[in-house]
């Protein structure tokens, strides 16, 4: 019972490390859009996203992507009405302060009538104007409301596929924006080429922000170091690229600040952490003492065995003792 309780607690802890706001039920063909919350330390492989019906993998439309510093997932709900499990495998995250690779699962049900309309894709990552497809599953036109960058309008959907175009010409900065299409709220991440993020280099001159300079730049003052660390903290460790070392490891390169914490760059993680290596000699000493004690016991045992019948030793093997 204790083991079961420990395993249950461990599973709950892992599950709580990653979460979504996926509901328990959806109508067929609904577009499900969700943010994946939690510390995600390495890119999520889109091939690890699975939809399971019973024990069978189900083909489905979906996309998972990092927009800014957050991950988003959209899926088009299947048309067959039954129970499903969404599985995202191999997510690298923190569990109780330690880096672990876990699987996230969410059960939901498809039930009720076919949804009246759905959107595709469920989010946008772009540097230019874009379009969204809206499928109306009804025989009559349907009016919906559009809202993007503080501009509102009405749009009349026609039966079948509708292509709605949006412009980013008025956006002058990189960032995450919301696009409202009827009842759907789509995250839109726009990479604007109209702005640059300045950082301070060693000569106190501004330069365009890039990850190489963020690693190699040497601050001349405490103020410059603080500014550089603030800029580094906007990026995940793997983007530099770098790696989060495990508790038992130490960084063999340089350690810098990142969105995920201490990030090891210009080298690999390996060996033992500084705290662990300082006490390693104790373990080696104990092993050596055990070996020496074993050798002494063995030598004494052999000596006692040889002197067990000293009379027979003096007479020799060919003479009988009366």
pLDDT exceeds 80 at position 67:
yes
Q: What is the mean pLDDT of residues 164-185?
A: 93
| 178, 185 Cβ separation under 8 angstroms | yes
pLDDT exceeds 70 at position 203:
no
Per-residue pLDDT at 275? 46
Backbone torsion region of residue 38, taken as left when φ is above 0, otherwise alpha when ψ lies between -120 and 50, otherwise beta: left
Lowest-confidence region among 40-44, 137-141, 180-184? 40-44
Per-residue pLDDT at 303? 66
Q: What is the mean pLDDT of residues 226-252?
A: 79
Per-residue pLDDT at 306? 58
pLDDT exceeds 90 at position 3:
no
Per-residue pLDDT at 260? 74
> What percent of the chain lies above the pLDDT cut of 70?
76
Mean pLDDT estimate for the chain: 81
How many Cβ atoms are within 10 Å of 1's Cβ, its own excluded? 5
**Nearest CA among 189, 149, 229, 197 for reference residue 65:** 189
Q: Which of 57-66, 260-269, 279-288 has the highest average model confidence (pLDDT)? A: 57-66
pLDDT exceeds 50 at position 110:
yes
Q: What is the mean pLDDT of residues 52-66?
A: 94
pLDDT exceeds 60 at position 274:
no
Per-residue pLDDT at 8? 40
Backbone torsion region of residue 97, taken as left when φ is above 0, otherwise alpha when ψ lies between -120 and 50, otherwise beta: left
**Nearest CA among 17, 25, 11 for reference residue 41:** 17
The residue to which tokens 């067929």 are assigned: 28
β-strand pairing of 31-36 with 70-76 = antiparallel
β-strand pairing of 184-190 with 124-126 = parallel
Compare 56 and 11 and report the one with higher pLDDT.
56
* CA dist list (Å): 205 to 10, 150, 212: 50, 37, 16
pTM: 0.61
Give domain limits for the chain: 14-190, 197-232, 235-278, 286-315
Q: What is the mean pLDDT of residues 21-32?
A: 97
Task: Write down the H helix ranges in 179-306.
Answer: 211-216, 222-232, 274-277, 280-306
Distance between CA atoms of residues 196 and 225, nearest Å? 20
Per-residue pLDDT at 310? 54
Beta bridge partners of residue 189, listed in sequence order: 125, 176
- Please write down the long-range contacts of 221-226, taking CB distance under 8 Å and 24 or more positions apart: 224/200
């Amino acid at each position: 019972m204790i083991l079961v309780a420990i395993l249950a607690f461990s599973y709950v802890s892992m599950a709580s490390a990653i979460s979504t706001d996926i509901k328990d039920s959806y109508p067929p063909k609904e577009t499900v859009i969700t943010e994946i919350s939690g510390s995600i330390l390495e890119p999520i492989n889109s091939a690890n996203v699975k939809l399971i019906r019973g024990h069978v993998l189900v083909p489905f439309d979906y996309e998972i992507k990092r927009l800014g510093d957050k991950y988003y997932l959209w899926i088009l709900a299947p048309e067959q009405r039954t129970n499903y499990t969404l599985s995202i495998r191999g997510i690298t995250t923190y569990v109780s302060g330690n880096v672990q690779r876990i699987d996230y699962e969410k059960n939901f049900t498809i039930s009720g009538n076919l949804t009246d309309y759905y959107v595709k894709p469920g989010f946008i990552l772009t540097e230019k104007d874009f379009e969204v497809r809206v499928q109306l599953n009804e025989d009559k036109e349907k009016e919906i409301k559009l809202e993007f960058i503080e501009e509102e309008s009405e749009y009349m959907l026609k039966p079948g596929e509708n292509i709605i175009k949006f412009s980013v010409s008025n956006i002058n900065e990189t960032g995450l924006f919301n696009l409202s299409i009827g009842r759907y709220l789509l995250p839109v991440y726009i990479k604007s080429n109209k702005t640059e993020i300045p950082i301070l280099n060693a000569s106190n001159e501004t330069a365009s922000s890039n990850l190489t300079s963020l690693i190699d730049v040497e601050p001349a003052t405490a103020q410059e170091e603080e500014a550089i660390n603030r800029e580094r903290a906007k990026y995940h460790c793997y983007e530099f690229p770098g790696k989060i070392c495990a508790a038992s490891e130490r960084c063999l390169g340089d350690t810098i600040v990142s969105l995920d914490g201490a990030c090891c760059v210009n080298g690999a993680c390996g060996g033992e952490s500084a705290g662990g290596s300082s006490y390693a000699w104790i373990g080696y000493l104990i092993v050596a003492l055990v070996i020496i004690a074993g050798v002494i016991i063995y030598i004494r045992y052999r000596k006692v065995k040889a002197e067990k019948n000293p009379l027979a030793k003096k007479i020799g093997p060919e003479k009988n003792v009366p």
